[in-house]
Amino acid sequence: MKKSILIKIFLRSFFIHAALNFRRMQNLGFAMAIIPLIREWRLQKKDSELMLTKHLQMYNSHPYFSAPLIGSVVRLEEDNVGKGDTSDVVAVKQGLMGPYAAIGDIFFWSALRPLAGIVAVYLAFMGFIIAPLAFLVIYTPAHFWLRAKGFIEGYRRGKQGIEFIRAMDLPRVSIKLRWFSLLTLIVFAIWLTCEGYWPFIADNSVIIVKSAALISILTSLFLIKKGVSQIYIIYGSFVIFLLIISCRELFN
């Protein structure tokens, strides 16, 4: 495959989300990314229509992880050209789009973007004009690198392109980023308290209530990690708060 064609396909993968629709989600963006491959092979009209129709089927994944998947699909299409059997292409595409979507949502939407937002808000609060730039510097290189490197590895490895994603262990990294974000928020809150910016800082009851809420959240997270059912945590919290309210009424 010519490098120029691969570059065109990769650049088109950035627009995977541009034609999102409720019927087949990102299928138009995926098919658009594959078009340079069809043009390069100069297939007969019937074969071109079959290939394009195949990639116009329902597709939905994380937009940043679409580039690695497109790379794998291009390699499989290249290996199967002339054979007529493309079942493995469809299987890889359908089999990976779900896991890639889950990993992408966990890492980018739930971990990296909140962290970048916290840092940007802190800088903006401090009066630094570079706050928006800081957000982009933290967030953009990670997803661009994943797109580019993932596309290259997906094309190089074909079916085994998922090994590149698995080796990064992004779910585990996401957990660390979340805890780091939480610690950053705590430090930020303490700094605001010391500087007198905290709302109702003179009202000790508000501080006690918010501290109790934070302790409750952290305890719930700890219990969930230990495998305790969320239903038990909800009912247990209800009983504990009910006892606290009852004791308060008794002593008053």
Q: Over the stretch 20-75, which tens digit does the pLDDT of each residue have?
A: 888 889 999 999 999 998 888 776 677 788 888 888 889 999 999 999 999 999 99
Task: Please check whether residues 87 and 172 belong to one and the same domain.
Answer: yes
Task: Please check whether residues 134 and 213 belong to one and the same domain.
Answer: no
Task: Please check whether residues 152 and 241 belong to one and the same domain.
Answer: no
End residue of a domain, out of 114, 147, 177: 177
For 202-212, write each residue's pLDDT tens digit.
555 556 666 77
Assigned domain for 182 exists: no
Task: Please check whether residues 9 and 115 belong to one and the same domain.
Answer: yes
C-alpha–C-alpha distance, residues 237 and 225, integer Å: 17
Quote the pLDDT of residue 221.
Answer: 81
For 18, 75, 112, 211, the CA distances from 105, given in Å and listed in that order, are: 18, 26, 10, 30
Instruction: Write out the residue range of the structural domain in which residue 237 sits.
Output: 199-251
DSSP string of 17-67?
A: TTT-BTTTBTHHHHHHHHHHHHHHHT--HHHHHHHHHHTTS-B---GGGHH
Pick from 142, 140, 166: which is nearest to 153 by CA? 166
For 88-143, write each residue's pLDDT tens digit.
888 889 889 999 999 999 999 888 999 999 899 888 888 888 999 999 999 999 99
What's the number of domains the chain is made of?
Answer: 2
Q: With beta carbons less than 8 A apart as the criterion, state whether 120 and 134 touch.
A: yes
- pLDDT band for 227, please (50, 70, 90 cuts): confident
Quote the pLDDT of residue 199.
Answer: 54
Average pLDDT, stretch 199-228? 71
Assigned domain for 126 exists: yes
Quote the pLDDT of residue 158.
Answer: 85
Task: Please check whether residues 216 and 147 belong to one and the same domain.
Answer: no
Task: Please check whether residues 106 and 7 belong to one and the same domain.
Answer: yes
Task: Please check whether residues 141 and 204 belong to one and the same domain.
Answer: no
